[in-house]
Amino acid sequence: MNVDKAKKRIAKQVRKGFNGYPLISLEYFGKTPDFATEVIISFTMEENAEPQQQKFVSENDAREDETIQSTLVKIIERADAKTVAEIEGVSLLKE
């Protein structure tokens, strides 16, 4: 899947807002606010449940990495997530 198509599919899910559980949240991390080298995807099955997390790392910007974005779409689809949330911007990595 091309990166633009994957990003649009994720953005469409995010725009729907909260619709219950299961919930998937995405947060991008980087050394600067302009370049994300990591993304953490969290899956929460139900309210107050401990989220399961998976991290993807890229040498390039993870937001523009076709493999990572396509994988995120597949995870969202396979989890049958009712809600997809994305933390705005890039969180700074702690060194």
pLDDT tens track for 27-84: 999 999 999 999 999 999 999 999 999 999 999 999 999 999 999 999 999 999 999 9
Could you state, in order of their start, the residue ranges of all structural domains in the chain? 3-88
Q: Give the pTM.
A: 0.90
How far apart are the two ends of the chain, measured CA to CA in Å?
Answer: 34
For residue 94, name the pLDDT band (cuts at 50, 70, 90): confident
